[in-house]
């Protein structure tokens, strides 16, 4: 996939002709794809083929896919995008997400970004998941809808919580928009977010989408759990 800017979206070093990543970041991505991961949540969490968490209780989504660890230059790039307002990185991130998704041969019907809260939106000025989903829609050529879910007004930010607190918080942070229910019936949804950590947001949003009539939910995030 070509990069019109010829600069790697992660490290901002020159990208070779015909690629959108620099050679170093491309090697990191290739090594990550070879790393054994849980066949459901897609995370490198030790026990395989199912991690301990998925073995204990299967999540509501069909599969979660991440492009790389939440670590190193990839983590720094995402933080610069979210907190440093490096908005221009969204297209490069979407290119990697699209490339990664195609290796799984999944054909979703619609893209649904995880909604952001009012406080986060006020701080950043945009929804990171939505801004990656917009170019992703163009690359994959499938519809995008931000109107199935919303985050409740006084929801607490997940980044301020530990693992158990995130699970409890996610359950009370999202709600559905019932008037959009008809447009979701029988659809395979690609739920898009920036990071998969505990999976709390992905699980809660997937449960709500399935409850609205979606056939299946696949989760696609730019980054996943930190490298073990």
Domain that holds residue 102: 23-224
Q: Under a CB-based contact definition with an 8 Å cutoff, are residues 224 and 195 in contact? A: yes
Q: Which residue, among 151, 74, 79, has the nearest Cα to 118 in the 3D structure?
A: 151
For residues 97-118, average pLDDT: 92
For residues 120-133, average pLDDT: 82
Q: Is residue 46 part of a domain?
A: yes
Q: Is residue 139 part of a domain?
A: yes
* Cα gap 6→22, rounded to integer Å: 9
Q: Is residue 91 part of a domain?
A: yes
Per-residue pLDDT at 55: 92
Q: Is residue 1 part of a domain?
A: no
Q: Under a CB-based contact definition with an 8 Å cutoff, are residues 139 and 95 in contact? A: yes
Q: How many residues does the chain have?
A: 228
Is the pLDDT score of 114 beyond 80? yes
Predicted TM-score of the model (pTM): 0.89
**In angstroms, how far is CA 80 from the centroid of its own chain?**
17
Phi and psi at residue 199, in whole multiples of 5°?
85, 5
pLDDT, tens digit, for every residue of 162-215? 555 555 665 667 888 888 888 899 999 999 999 998 899 999 999 999 999 999
Per-residue pLDDT at 174: 87
CATH of the domain at 139: 3.40.50.2020
* Cα gap 75→82, rounded to integer Å: 11
For residues 130-137, average pLDDT: 96
Higher pLDDT, 140 or 43: 140
Per-residue pLDDT at 154: 54
Classify residue 49 as exposed, middle or buried by CB count within 10 Å of its CB (0-12, 13-18, 19+): exposed
Give the total number of structural domains in the chain: 1
pLDDT, tens digit, for every residue of 53-96? 999 999 999 999 999 999 999 999 999 998 888 988 999 999 99
Q: Is residue 127 part of a domain?
A: yes
């Amino acid at each position: 996939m070509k990069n019109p800017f010829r600069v790697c979206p992660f490290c901002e070093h020159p990208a070779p002709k015909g690629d959108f990543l620099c050679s170093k970041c491309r090697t990191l991505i290739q090594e990550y794809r070879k790393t054994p991961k849980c066949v459901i949540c897609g995370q490198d969490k030790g026990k395989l083929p199912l991690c301990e968490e998925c073995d204990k209780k299967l999540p509501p989504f069909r599969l979660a896919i991440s492009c790389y660890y939440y670590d190193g230059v990839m983590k720094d790039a995402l933080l610069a995008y979210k907190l440093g307002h490096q908005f221009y990185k969204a297209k490069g991130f979407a290119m990697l997400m699209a490339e990664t998704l195609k290796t799984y041969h999944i054909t979703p019907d619609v893209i649904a970004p995880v909604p952001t809260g009012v406080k986060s939106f006020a701080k950043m000025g945009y929804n990171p998941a939505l801004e990656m989903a917009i170019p992703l829609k163009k690359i994959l050529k499938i519809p995008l809808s931000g109107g199935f879910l919303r985050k409740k007004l006084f929801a607490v930010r997940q980044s301020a919580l530990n693992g158990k607190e995130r699970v409890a918080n996610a359950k009370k942070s999202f709600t559905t928009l019932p008037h959009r229910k008809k447009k979701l019936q029988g659809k395979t949804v690609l739920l898009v977010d920036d990071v998969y950590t505990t999976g709390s947001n992905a699980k809660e949003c997937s449960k709500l989408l399935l409850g609205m009539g979606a056939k299946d939910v696949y989760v696609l995030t730019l980054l996943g759990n930190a490298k073990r």
